[in-house]
Structure 1
């Protein structure tokens, strides 16, 4: 059995969007938990097994998977027939893995540092910066509509989710803007957001 520990309007929202996009909602038991919020609300939930009290966390018959990119990879590998992943042996598998890892290793950190107003030579050397991340996206989208290949993937939902939360950070580059619009207008994405905003 698959169990997703989820807090509405959080990083686990993109996992719920992926699950809906993959058409596997009936296979997933959704457990709503509380998490500490940036505005000081919420708190650690004793029913949340995540060791840091965060979300998402996926439990598959006792196998625990945490971190958005790991959860997305796990789900798309578990359901290789859905088009949101790229299974082992697929020509785009390397690109798919790279974009999933890039999100957590580069993209989110540089945006968090920018929003926090932190700049330091060590972070610049380690993660680079937002302009370099934007250039990487622009380059990837120069000849195709999606990051990995000519079809949408979980990597698109993951990377674009940052711009879903911070619309004012969407770069002026028309290729990126069009890609963000394509990602955020997917029915699975919009329906989850609408449901969570109505809570």
Structure 2
């Protein structure tokens, strides 16, 4: 049994979108939970959420919990390989795909948070890099095709484009990156996931 613990219009929304694109919404139970929001809304920790820190997303497969968005996405693309949203072991693109999935948590999100916080010092830049480095890496990758893996759209595009969808003011002013985010968002799954979250909020 697969259960995703999800709070509408949060970081876990991109996992719901991936499940939609995998054609697996009928095979994953989406359990709606509340989470504390940065604006003070959302209330306290939801006792229905088994995540140790009360966060989302959290995927449970036959009683085993999986945390962290990038790990959950890799796990799901391997469970549903027929959708082609993640190169499988043995595929020449597998290493690049895993590299991008790790890059999100190791570099992109820390760089965005540090920039938004106004924190900059040689140690953080050496460890996490900065948005100038992120911009350079994304631009370089998009020189080889419309997506991070060239001609192949993957879960990596959903994941790495997502912060620029939530915070467009953080998006680098680079045409290749703006066009890539627009391509990633120009898919039917975006409207379906928004409708899913709207229904969940209403309920």
Q: TM-score, normalised by structure 2?
A: 0.94
The question of whether the paired residues in 2 share the 8 Å contact of 1:2 and 1:59 is answered with yes
Gaps of 5+ in 1: none
Tell me the SS of whatever aligns to 1:81.
helix
User: Is 1:153 matched with 2:154?
Assistant: yes
Q: Does the Cα contact within 8 Å between 2:4 and 2:31 map onto a contact in 1?
A: yes
| Secondary structure in 2 matching 1:64 | strand
**2:32 pairs with 1:7:** no
What root-mean-square deviation, in Å, do the aligned CA atoms of Structure 1 and Structure 2 show? 1.2
Structure 2 unaligned spans of 5+: none
Query: Aligned with 2:26: secondary structure?
Result: helix
Aligned length: 199
Structure 1 window deviating more from structure 2 (55-64 vs 116-125): it is 116-125
The offset of 1:69, in angstroms, is 0.2
1:91-110 alignment runs, 5 A limit: 91-110=92-111
Q: Following TM superposition, by how much is the alpha carbon of 1:194 offset from its aligned partner in structure 2, in angstroms?
A: 4.2
2:194 & 2:170 partners in 1: Cα distance?
19
| Residue 30 in structure 1 maps to residue 38 in structure 2 | no
1:80 — aligned with what? 81
CA distance in 2, matches of 1:183, 1:96: 16
Q: Distance in 2 between matches of 1:123 and 1:190?
A: 37
Report the Cα distance in structure 2 between the residues aligned to 1:34 and 1:85, rounded to whole angstroms: 29
Counterparts of 1:124 and 1:194, CA distance in 2: 39
Runs of 4+ in 1 over 4 A off after TM superposition: none
Q: Which residue of the partner structure matches residue 130 of structure 2?
A: 129
